[in-house]
Amino acid sequence: METREQYTYDEYKETADWLLAAIRIRPKVAVICGSGLGGLADLLSDKTMIPYEKIPRFPKSTVPGHARKLVFGELNGKQCICMQGRFHFYEGYPVNEVTFPIRVFHLMGVESLIVTNAAGGLNEQFKVGDIMFINDHINLPGFAGLNPLRGSNEERFGVRFLCMSDAYDKAFHQMALDSAQELGYQDFVRDGVYCMLAGPSYETVAECRMLKMLGADAVGMSTVPEVILARHCGMRVFGISLITNKVVMDYSSQAKTNHKEVLQTSRDRAEALQRLISNLVGKMD
């Protein structure tokens, strides 16, 4: 697999211009669909679909449950991009390729990003099928230097040293709570902290216990790099984790986390999550 450590501003812009020439709309909202959650794009009207392999410089997602295409259209009165399939460290991509679409979206005029993911529940109060609004995150790969802002800084995107204490937009969070109230989803909507690990192996019992001590409520293998790049570009961000499995916290347990379980829970809760996001998008200014 050929990889790139860093792209130039002009390369991002060439891809953005290519996409703008291929579509009729001018999207302001982008949604990244996590494992098994790509059905949200079915709600878009007046759709244009572009497979990743046709887009200049776009990486190729290899994970089951990811459809590998961009879908453009209108959702609840807003012009949107839905990204059906994201990219991960564990697929072999460097961080700049994992996050490549974010700067492209920014140069296309996108102002708001909604990120979704499938995650394991660390919080003992969470149940499989719960929807967690992300209040904050812990970037464990970042502790080891895997940060998408590593390398020379491009000032046309953002500042060298990025503040992340306001990563997740509080106004969007309130709008999402209002949407959950309107839809009657209060019983399975939670707030929490998402922790990212690089994967692809799931966590050991000791690792899960450590993450819980650090204050994480859910754990997954994505999302954080995209959020960092989006905030660097000045986008407003809202994040959602679908709790697709409970992590194993007890050595005596016979339970084993597997991707099939993750996809099945995603399918079971997909309709509710799609309605929630559609309602939220309709409220966005």
131-139/45-51 β-pairing: unpaired
Per-residue pLDDT reduced to its tens digit, 54-92:
999 998 766 555 568 999 999 999 999 999 888 888 888
Is 3 within the bounds of a domain?
no
Q: What is the mean pLDDT of residues 236-256?
A: 87
Closest alpha carbon to 249 in 214, 218, 206: 206
Is 1 within the bounds of a domain?
no
Asked if 244 and 266 touch (Cβ cutoff 8 Å), the reply is yes
pLDDT confidence band for 240 (50 / 70 / 90) = very high
pLDDT confidence band for 5 (50 / 70 / 90) = low
* CATH number of the domain that residue 43 is part of: 3.40.50.1580
With pLDDT > 70 as the criterion, what percentage of the chain qualifies? 93
Q: What is the mean pLDDT of the chain?
A: 90
Is 16 within the bounds of a domain?
yes
pLDDT at position 67: 64
Is 140 within the bounds of a domain?
yes
Total domains, the chain: 1
pLDDT higher than threshold 90 for residue 279? yes
Is 83 within the bounds of a domain?
yes
Is 2 within the bounds of a domain?
no
Is 145 within the bounds of a domain?
yes
Q: Is 91 exposed, middle or buried (0-12, 13-18, 19+ CB in 10 A)?
A: middle
Range of the domain at 14: 10-283
pLDDT at position 1: 43
Catalytic residues: 35, 66, 88, 90-91, 118, 221-222, 245, 259
pLDDT confidence band for 261 (50 / 70 / 90) = low
Residues 6+ apart with CB under 8 A from 269: 129, 131, 242
Q: What is the mean pLDDT of residues 109-117?
A: 96
Is 149 within the bounds of a domain?
yes
